[in-house]
């Protein structure tokens, strides 16, 4: 595709998205929800620490730590989490070394230990 054609296509898509933004936002939101559901099914549907099962609170954790370094290696200078990382996990065939944690447990691990471990 030549540069002129590519620019015309980009402008066409930009006009199309601005004409019906709710369609594209809803489409992207539905895609992201399906992707997260696939990831959670592959790695377990509950937090490995506290058994939280609400998908809104769940995320993927690097078991051995080093998540920021790994994401920098994958995505460059600005590490990206969330759906870009979920796409990478799916593309790589759901590699081992990851687990599902809720946001509280994941943040607690970064701060030195999960708060639920102290309570138990």
Question: Per DSSP, which regions of 4-120 are E strands?
Answer: 58-62, 98-102
Query: Which candidate, 59, 54, 110, 46, places its Cα nearest to that of 86?
Result: 59
Contacts 24+ apart (CB under 8 A), 6-11: none
Segments in 44-114 forming alpha helices (H) = 67-75, 82-91, 103-110
Give the CA distances from residue 99 to residues 10, 15, 58, 113, 114, in Å, rounded to whole numbers and listed in that order. Answer: 38, 41, 10, 16, 14
How long is the chain?
120
Per-residue pLDDT of the chain (120 residues; tens, 9 = 90+): 677 788 888 888 888 777 776 766 788 888 999 999 999 999 999 999 888 999 999 999 998 888 888 888 888 877 677 888 999 999 999 999 999 999 988 888 877 777 777 654
Indicate the number of domains in the chain: 1
pTM of the model: 0.72
Domain residue limits at 33: 3-119
Give burial (CB, 10 Å; 0-12/13-18/19+) of 101.
Answer: buried
């Amino acid at each position: 595709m030549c540069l002129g054609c590519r620019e015309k296509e980009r402008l066409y898509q930009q006009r199309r998205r601005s004409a019906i933004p709710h369609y594209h936002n809803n489409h992207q939101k539905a895609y992201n929800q399906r992707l997260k559901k696939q990831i959670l099914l592959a790695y377990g549907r509950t937090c490995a620490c506290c058994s939280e099962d609400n998908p809104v609170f769940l995320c993927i954790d690097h078991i051995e730590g080093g998540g920021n370094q790994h994401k920098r290696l994958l995505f460059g200078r600005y590490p990206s989490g969330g759906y870009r990382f979920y796409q990478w996990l799916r593309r790589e065939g759901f590699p081992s070394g990851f687990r599902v944690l809720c946001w509280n447990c994941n943040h607690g691990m970064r701060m030195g230990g999960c708060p639920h471990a102290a309570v138990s």
